[in-house]
Structure formats: C-alpha cells, structure tokens
C-alpha cells in the first residue's frame, strides 16, 4: 500500500501508540523499518513521528541507527501509582538477604505474568525474567502460583488454550497441569524445575488480598540446587503473608482489588 494510504482513518494518537507498542522486552531496540513492520504504519509516517518522539525524548536513537524507549517515558512511568510494589520491595530485599537468590514480584496481565520488581545478588543464577517483561503463566513459578488461585472459569479457559513447550520439562497437558494447580492451592506455593529455561528452578507463592491473588513472589535457584528449594518455602510464605497484610492496610474499602468478573 503506497504512501500513507495504509494509515488512513487512524488518528495521530493511535499511530503514536502503535509505534510505542512496537517495542517490548523481546525487541527493546528497533530500526525504522522494523517499527513500521511491527506497528503496521507506513515508513514515511514512522519516520516523521519517530523524529518527533525522539525530540521529546520518548525515544532515543543509538549509534547504529536503531531506537529504544527514552528517559521521558521512564519518568512518566514512575508516576503510575503502585502501592503493591512499594509495599513488597522491602520484603523482597529481606528474602534476597536471607537466601542470596533471585527474588521477583509478578502480577497477572491477561494470560501472562508481568514482572514488576526484581532483586538479585552477584552470585544469583542468571534468569530470563526482567522488570517490565512478560512470560507465560503455565511454565513459571509465579505464573502457576497465580493461576492456581484464579477463579475456576479462568483456569478452565486457560487450560483450553494451546500451551507452548519451552523445555522437555514444560507441563503442557491440561489434565496434568490441572492436578498440579490443585496441589498448589492445597499447599499454598508452587515449585518448578527447568520448565521455562534449562538450568533453573523456582519456588513461588501468591499474595492474597481479600481472597484475590494480586501478585506472586518467586525465588529462582540453579537446578543443581533443586534439593534446597524446600528450605526456601518458609521464608517465602512469611514474605508473601507479610506483604499481603501490609498491602491490605494501605487499601481503603472502595479501592481494594475485586474478583475479576466473567462477562
């Protein structure tokens, strides 16, 4: 489609949002051509709008000509209210101090988990999660911890979807995953072993507020130390219980999380 014909009917705002939405954790740096392809906009439109976004510092151009998210958007992002992260962060730091392992906080976004905070030490095992990144629910500790405490209709809907196998250990069979979720609900925490990436395993538990799983905390260790996971469960549960109580105290009745409704 020539020129800007492919953009006809789209507002300037929708075009700018499409450009910003082209970036994600998997593709944090993009060329103009890549932005055009991922946003569905004409290259001429992308060239013009990216120039304005760069001038405003929403995007930043690197030496090789690619672009990444700029400091201005980071500054605006810090204005988003997130009492949960603020409440949870000291507990995450305490878990790091007591275990020396990667500790992260995640929430559910659709059928994925979004990592909103992470603390780690120099000796911690490398992991794929990053603050602001998303990963599937069915193969991550925090994802399973959240999924297990979601309403039955959501779990049923989730299990009806095709589940991607990331490693030979990823659980993708609906029946087997359903049984595992039942075990997680019964004991209050999830354990995973090389389901997302080879070489790492995790323990995770949900943060429950008013009966709703608002987030989950996970600890990731090397698979060589999988036998050490059970000793991490008690400090993990103490942290999630503490976060839940502290978070509940910050909420007024009108703003407490409510169970998601099925339309």
Q: What is the CA radius of gyration of the chain?
A: 21
Percent of the chain's residues with pLDDT above 90: 67
State whether residue 157 is helix, strand or coil: helix
The answer to whether residue 212 scores a pLDDT higher than 70 is yes
Per-residue DSSP letter, 61? E
The answer to whether residue 127 scores a pLDDT higher than 70 is no
Burial state string for 148-170 with b = 16 or more CB within 10 A and e = fewer than 16: bbbeeeebeebbeeebeebeebb
CA distance 198 to 208: 30
Burial class (CB in 10 A: 0-12, 13-18, 19+), 211: exposed
Per-residue DSSP letter, 248? H
Greater pLDDT, 82 or 184: 184
What is the domain partition of the chain in residue ranges?
A: 5-76, 83-255
Q: Are the CB atoms for 131 and 117 separated by under 8 Å?
A: yes
The answer to whether residue 125 scores a pLDDT higher than 80 is no
Name 236's Cβ contacts closer than 8 Å, sequence gap at least 6. 95, 189, 203, 204, 205, 217, 219
CA distance 63 to 29: 12
> Hey, which residues does 112 pair with through a beta bridge?
109, 136
Q: Which CATH architecture has domain 83-255?
A: 2-Layer Sandwich (3.30)
Q: What is the pLDDT of residue 252?
A: 56
Distances (CA, A) of 150 to 19, 170, 185, 195, 258: 33, 20, 10, 21, 12
Long-range Cβ pairs for the range 109-118 (8 Å, 24+): 109/134, 111/136, 111/137, 111/158, 111/161, 112/136, 112/137, 112/143, 113/137, 113/140, 113/142, 113/143, 113/146, 113/216, 115/142, 116/82, 116/84, 116/85, 116/215, 117/85, 117/88, 117/89, 117/92, 118/92
Greater pLDDT, 122 or 109: 109
Q: What is the pLDDT of residue 255?
A: 46
Tokens of 235: 């400090």
CA distance 138 to 170: 8
State whether residue 241 is helix, strand or coil: helix
Greater pLDDT, 179 or 121: 179
Q: Per-residue confidence at 251, pLDDT binned at 50, 70, 90?
A: confident
For 5-76, CATH number out of 3.30.70.20, 3.40.720.10, 1.10.10.10, 3.40.640.10 equals 1.10.10.10
Asked whether this chain's domains 5-76 and 83-255 adopt the same fold, the reply is no
């Amino acid at each position: 489609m020539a020129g800007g014909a492919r953009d006809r009917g789209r507002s300037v705002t929708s075009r700018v949002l499409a450009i910003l939405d082209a970036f994600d954790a998997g593709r944090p740096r993009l060329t103009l051509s890549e932005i055009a392809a991922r946003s569905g906009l004409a290259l001429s439109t992308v060239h013009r709008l990216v120039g304005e976004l760069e001038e405003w510092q929403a995007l930043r151009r690197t030496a090789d000509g690619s672009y990444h998210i700029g400091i201005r958007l980071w500054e605006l992002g810090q204005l988003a209210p997130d009492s949960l992260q603020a409440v949870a962060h000291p507990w995450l730091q305490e878990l790091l101090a007591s275990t020396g392992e990667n500790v992260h906080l995640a929430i559910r976004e659709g059928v994925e988990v979004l990592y909103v905070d992470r603390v780690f030490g120099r000796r911690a095992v490398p992991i794929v999660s990053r603050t602001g990144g998303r990963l599937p629910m069915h193969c991550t500790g925090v994802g399973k911890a959240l999924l297990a405490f979601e309403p039955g209709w959501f779990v049923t809907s989730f299990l009806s979807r095709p589940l991607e196998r990331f490693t030979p250990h990823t659980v993708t069979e609906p029946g087997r995953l359903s049984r595992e979720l039942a075990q997680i609900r019964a004991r209050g925490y999830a354990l995973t072993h090389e389901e997302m990436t080879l070489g790492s395993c995790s323990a995770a538990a949900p943060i429950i507020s008013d009966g709703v799983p608002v987030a989950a905390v996970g600890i990731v260790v090397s698979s060589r130390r999988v036998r050490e996971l059970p000793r991490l469960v008690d400090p993990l549960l103490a942290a999630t219980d503490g976060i839940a109580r502290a978070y509940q105290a910050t909420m007024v009745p009108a703003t407490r999380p409510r169970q998601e409704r099925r339309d």
